[in-house]
Chains A and B, each alone.
Chain A
């Protein structure tokens, strides 16, 4: 710690313990480590971009005040996604979701490199986002956790309080449905 050469980065569990011992830098490191992934997940669930940072902040606040409910055997990120997913659901229930309407003009603004392929990619992404909004909640969350976040089925099961087998079924149903919707 005090030596000039930094060792391996601390694990999430170590950072959590350090935060519980009063180390605010550890909490900040956890936020820095996971905020982008959480924001991408929430955006995929349909969160309004203008409210994304508030949602991310709220998810971390809840996480830090409810650390006692974190089972150390589950990945901190999976647990954070659980909180984020619940938050997004509550938010949507209160009618604050944006309904996942994606403006193509907005996406065109960042085109770089090969304009044709970039536009095509943006278009595919926009159609996928619209398709995601039409999926049942669990399928949408499983699909994002697997395809967007790269979590394995065990981690998804832990995050969504289901089984790995059920998560796998939900994922493939989501893929099948999305292929129909995005085509």
Chain B
């Protein structure tokens, strides 16, 4: 790195409260391009100062806390990776649950409404291996069927617990 580049790299730190050495200051004074860059960085330190001066931190804090208190309940906090997985898996879990209901209830397939939901395209399924798919369906199967073979309710919107259980099987 040349001396010129080094000075360029140091500019934000010096603008934040550092100091130039006499040699650096001399180079800055003799190099118009470097001096223009230094003026730019100094101006950048001031950008937004005026607008930010009107911000009252205490008022913002009070408003934020009031909103947080007004939240009906603390958000369900899942680690990032798991949340991504949930959002990814949830749609086909819900659709798979519908399929399972149709199979388990054993309703006659009339021509009126032949389980159109089964035909929902699920491109996400292509991403899963056979084993993963089997695991997901197995975990749903355990939860779908009650002891007498009837489907449980609310399967179109799997509960957090159901999703968690299904995710356990995916994550090993």
Q: Give chain A's interface residues, CB within 8 Å of chain B.
A: 24, 27-28, 31-32, 35-37, 39-44, 47, 49, 52-53, 56-57, 60-61, 64-69, 106-107, 110, 121, 124-125, 128-129, 132, 143-144, 146-148, 150, 172, 175, 178-179, 182-183
Contact = CB atoms under 8 A, between A and B. Distances in A.
B79 interface: yes
B65 A27 contact: yes
9 contacts: A32-B58, A42-B48, A47-B51, A52-B55, A53-B60, A57-B63, A147-B44, A179-B33, A179-B36
Nearest to A27: B65
A24 B64 CA distance: 10
B47 A43 contact: yes
B51 A49 contact: yes
Nearest to A68: B77
Contact of A56 (B8, B13, B55): B55
B127 interface: no
Interface in B45-79: 45-52, 54-65, 67-68, 71, 75, 77-79
Contact of B57 (A31, A49, A128, A175): A31
A61 B67 contact: yes
Contacts of B62: 28
Nearest to A143: B44
B82 to A, nearest CB: 10
A35 B15 contact: no
A73 to B, nearest CB: 13
Interface of B: 8, 11-13, 15-16, 33, 36-37, 39-41, 43-52, 54-65, 67-68, 71, 75, 77-80, 83
Contact of A35 (B37, B48, B57): B57
Contacts of B47: 40, 43-44, 125, 128-129, 132, 144, 148
Contacts of A172: 8
Contacts of A41: 48
Contact of B37 (A146, A148, A150, A179): A179
B46 A125 contact: yes
A101 B12 CA distance: 25
A121 B45 CA distance: 11
A36 B40 contact: no
B12 A28 contact: no
Contacts of B80: 68-69
Given A40-B49, A68-B80, A121-B46, A35 B12 contact: no
A80 to B, nearest CB: 12
Given A24-B65, A61-B67, A147-B44, A39 B12 contact: no
A147 B12 contact: yes
Contacts of B55: 35-36, 39, 52-53, 56
Nearest to A24: B65
A36 B52 contact: yes
